Structure 1
Amino acid sequence: MNKSQKMKIILAVVAISFIQGLQYCVSPVLGQIQEHYSDINVSLVQMLITAPALLSMIVALVSGGLVVKISKKKLLLFAALVAGITGFLPYLADSFWLLFVSRTLYGVALGLACTLNTAVVAEFFEGNERVSVMGIQAASIGMGMVIITTAGGKLGSFGFTYSYITNIIGFLSFIVLAVMLPDTGTAKVTKTERIRLNKRVFQIAFLGFLEFMFLITFTTNIAMHISEALAGDSSVSGILTGIFSGAQIVMGLILGRVVRVTKQATLPAAMISFLIGAVLLILFPSNLPVLIAASVFCGFSQGMFIPQAMVEVANAVQPVATAMASACFTCAMSFGQLVSPSILNSISKLVFGNISTSNVFKIAAAGMAVSALIGCLITCRSENKRRGEKI
C-alpha cells in the first residue's frame, strides 16, 4: 500500500472520528437547555450526551458480527447518514423529548463509528504504524470535538437550537467515506481465525467502563459548573470543551512517544491525568486559567486512554475478531457513559445530601483514583504472567 492510499484511509479514519465527536455537540448549551426545559430533571438533560450510549452498546455488539455479512464501508456510510439526519430532527418541534429521542437514535451512528474505526485501522496498519494511526484517530476525535463544541458554543449564544447546525458534519463525513475508504468486502472467518475474545479484552473493557463513567462528568457538568462571572456563558463552556478536545488532539499526535515512557502503565496514567483535572475543577470553579488547565488534563486522559485501549484489544485477538473486541470495549465504554449521571448524582445525594457539579466531580475524582489503582494491579498481573510464559 503506497503513501497516497494510506493518506486516503487516514482521511477516512478522520471522517469516522468526526462522527464520534458529534456525541458532544450539545455539551456547550446544556445549561441553556436546562433553563429552557426547566421542568426536566437535570440527570435527563445531562443524558443528552450519554443517551446515545444506550443504542451504541447494542449496535456495537451487533456490528462486531455484522462485518462478516456487510462490508465496513457500507456500515460506516449508513452511520454517517444516521448522524446527519438525527442531528437535524430536533428542528421539527420545540420538544425536549424529540431532542432526547434524536440524541438516543444518534447512538446507532456512534456504535458503528466507535467499533469500526478501530477495525479499519487494524485492517490496514500493523505494529508501530498502527499505534501512530490510532493516535491520529484519537487526535481527529479531539479535532472534531474542538470544531463541534467551539462552533456549537458560538452558535448557541444566539439560541441553543442553533448548535444543532454542527450536525452537518455527518453528511460531510458521508462524502469523505464514499470517496476515500476502500471497500474490502466482508470479513472472512476460517477454521484458524474465528471470532473469539479472551480475558485481556474483558480486562481492558472493564477499565474502559470505569474510565468513562468518571471522565464523562467533564462534558456533562462543565457548562453548569463554571461559576460567578463565567456562569451562563455558553461560549466559555464551549471554549473549555474545545480545549478538552484540543488536548486530546495533542495527546493523540504524541501518543507514540508517551507510550514509550509510560509503557504498560499507559491506561492507569490516563486515569491519573483526569484525577488531576478533576481536583482543579473542584478547587477553582471561577478561575478561567485554572479551568483551562483542568480541561487540558481531562483531555489528555481521553486522548491517551482510548487509542491505547483500542490498540491493546486489537492486539489481543485474531484479525477477524478485531471488530468484536472493539465492540466489547465500546459497549463497556458506552455503558459507563450511560449510567454515569444517574449513579454519580445518586451518590452525591446520598453522601452530601444534595446534587451539585462540585460534589459530582469529588466523587469522580475519588472513583478515578481507585480505578487507577485497579488498572495498575491488572497491568502488573498481566506483565508478570507474560514474563512467566517467556521463562
Structure 2
Amino acid sequence: MTGQPSFKTTISILSLSTVSSVATVITGTIPQLKQTFPTVPTTVIEWLVTVANLSALVTLLLNPWLVKRWGIQNTVITGLLLSAVVGVVPALTDNFTAIMLSRILLGFGIGLFSPHAISLIAHSYHGDLRARLLGYQTGLSALGNAVLLSLAGLLIGVSWHAVFWLHGLLAGIAVLVFLNVPEPQQIAVVAPTTSGISSLPHRQRLLVGLTFITYLLIWGVQLKLPSYFENRQFGDARVLNLTLAAMNVGGLLAGLSFGALHKHLHRFTLTLGYAGAAGAVFLLWSTANANIAIIAAIGFNFIYSYTGPYLVFTSNSGLAPDQINALSSTLTIATIISAFFAPLIWNLIGQLGPQTLTDNVLLWITVTLTALAVLTLLVPTERKGNHDH
C-alpha cells in the first residue's frame, strides 16, 4: 500500500468508534422503565442494557465468514442499518417483549460493525498514522458514548421512548461508510473462538478471569447508578445521564494517560486502579451529598479505567502471534459474558445485607475491589522485564 486514505474516508472510519457503545445509551432510562413495567423483574429490565452484548457475540463469531462472503464494507453497512432500524423500535411501542426482542437484534447489528472500527484502520493505514488512529479509536469510543449519553439526558426530559431515537444516528454513519469507505484490498479477519484459551499459559488464563471480574464490577456500578440517584434523590434522569457522560470523559482521560502512568508504576498501576475505585465506590455508598456522589462516580470511572488497558497490555506480553489472537478473542468473550451476567449476579448478591439492594451492591463492590487491591499488591501480575512499551 502506497498512499493513505482521504480525510473523508478517515472521518467515516473513525465515526464507527463513536457508536461502538450505543447499547449503553439507555442506561439512564432504567428507573422510568421500572415504572412503566412494574411487573417485570429488575434483572430483566437491566438486561435491556446488556443483552445486546451477548447477541453481538453471535455475529462477532460469524464475522470472518460474512466478510469473506460480503466484504467488510457491506458487512459494516448491514450492521449499521440493522442496528438503526431495530434500535428505534422501543421508541414506538410499550410492548416489553417487542422491546427486548429489538435489543437482542440490536446486538446482532453491533456485532457486524463494531469489530471493523479497528480492522478498517489496520487494513487501510500503515506506519505512524495507523498507530495514531488506533489511539484515537479508543478515545473516540469514550467520547462518542459521552456525547450520546448527554443527548440522552436531553431527550429523557421528553420521555424514555425518545432516547431510543438516538439509534437512528447509525443510519447516517452507514451513509458515510457507503460514500467514503472503499473495500480494503487485503482482508485477514481473525475469528473470535473459545478454543484458543486452552493454548494460553496459566498466567494468561488467570488474567482473563481477572478481566471478567473487573468488568463485572464496573457493570455493577453502572447498572445501579440510576436507582442509586433515584433512591437518594440526587437529581433527575438528566443529571444522571450527564454524570454517565462525564464518567466516559473520565475514562477517556485515563486512557490517554495510561502509558505514562504505567511507565512509572508498572504492576502497581493495577493496584492503584482497584484501590482508587474501592475508595470512590465507598464514597458513593456513604455520602448524602449529590455533588460528592457525582464527583465520586466520575472519579470511579477515571481511576478504574486504568485496569482495562493494564490487563490487555500485560496479558499480551510474551505470547506468540497465534496466542495473541486467541487471547484477544478470549478477552472479548469474557467482557461480553460479564455484561450479560452482571444484572443477575448483582441483583442476587444485593439481597445479602441490611440495607436496600442498591446500597448492598455498592458495599459488596467496595469489599471486592479492596480485596483485589490487596491481592494485586501481594501477587505480582507482571513478569520481570515486562515494562517496555
Q: 1:192 maps to what in 2?
A: none
CA distance in 1, matches of 2:291, 2:89: 37
Q: In structure 2, list runs of 5 or more residues that go unmatched.
A: 191-195
Q: 2:90 maps to what in 1?
A: 90
Q: 2:340 maps to what in 1?
A: 338
Comparing 332-341 with 128-137, which one deviates more in the overlay? 128-137
Note the C-alpha offset of 1:9: 6.7
Note the C-alpha offset of 1:8: 5.9
- Post-superposition Cα deviations, 1:256-278, rounded to whole Å, max 9, x if no partner, equal 33333344454554444432321
- Post-superposition Cα deviations, 1:291-325, rounded to whole Å, max 9, x if no partner, equal 22222223225643445555566777666887664
Note the C-alpha offset of 1:375: 5.4
Q: 1:282 maps to what in 2?
A: 285
Q: 2:139 maps to what in 1?
A: 139
Structure number with greater CO (CA < 8 Å, separation at least 6) is 1
Identity %: 17
CA 1:108–1:159: 2 relative to 1, 3 Å: same
CA 1:304–1:61: 2 relative to 1, 3 Å: farther
Comparing 35-44 with 14-23, which one deviates more in the overlay? 14-23
Q: Is the 8 A contact 2:123 2:187 kept in 1?
A: no
Q: 1:365 maps to what in 2?
A: 366
Q: Is the 8 A contact 1:218 1:298 kept in 2?
A: no
- Post-superposition Cα deviations, 1:207-241, rounded to whole Å, max 9, x if no partner, equal 32111111012321111101577356111111111
TM-score (norm 2): 0.82
Q: Is the 8 A contact 1:71 1:187 kept in 2?
A: no
Confirm whether residue 169 of structure 1 aligns to residue 169 of structure 2: yes
Q: 1:80 maps to what in 2?
A: 80
CA distance in 1, matches of 2:163, 2:79: 21
TM-score (norm 1): 0.81
Q: Is the 8 A contact 1:71 1:183 kept in 2?
A: yes
CA 1:313–1:80: 2 relative to 1, 3 Å: farther
CA 1:228–1:386: 2 relative to 1, 3 Å: closer
Note the C-alpha offset of 1:41: 0.9
CA distance in 1, matches of 2:204, 2:299: 26
Comparing 240-249 with 255-264, which one deviates more in the overlay? 255-264
Q: 1:254 maps to what in 2?
A: 257
Q: Is the 8 A contact 1:119 1:326 kept in 2?
A: no
CA 1:157–1:309: 2 relative to 1, 3 Å: same
CA distance in 2, matches of 1:315, 1:127: 22
CA distance in 2, matches of 1:334, 1:83: 18
- Post-superposition Cα deviations, 1:84-108, rounded to whole Å, max 9, x if no partner, equal 1221112342112211221222222
SS at match of 2:5: helix
Q: Is the 8 A contact 1:54 1:107 kept in 2?
A: yes
Equivalent residue runs for 1:1-391 within 5 Å: 5=5, 11-12=11-12, 14-63=14-63, 71-123=71-123, 133-184=133-184, 185-187=186-188, 198-199=200-201, 202-227=205-230, 230-231=233-234, 233-284=236-287, 286-301=288-303, 303-307=305-309, 309=311, 325-349=327-351, 351-352=352-353, 356-372=357-373, 380=380, 382-384=382-384
CA distance in 2, matches of 1:240, 1:68: 42
Q: Counterpart of 1:77 in structure 2: which amino acid?
A: I
Number of equivalences: 379
Note the C-alpha offset of 1:173: 2.4
Note the C-alpha offset of 1:52: 1.3
CA distance in 2, matches of 1:122, 1:253: 20
Comparing 316-325 with 268-277, which one deviates more in the overlay? 316-325
Note the C-alpha offset of 1:79: 2.4
CA distance in 2, matches of 1:222, 1:369: 20
Note the C-alpha offset of 1:81: 1.8
Q: Counterpart of 2:61 in structure 1: which amino acid?
A: L
Q: Is the 8 A contact 1:131 1:311 kept in 2?
A: no
Q: Counterpart of 1:168 in structure 2: which amino acid?
A: G
Q: In structure 1, list runs of 5 or more residues that go unmatched.
A: 190-194
CA distance in 2, matches of 1:386, 1:255: 15
Note the C-alpha offset of 1:5: 3.4
CA distance in 2, matches of 1:324, 1:123: 20
Q: Counterpart of 1:24 in structure 2: which amino acid?
A: T
Q: Is the 8 A contact 1:131 1:308 kept in 2?
A: no
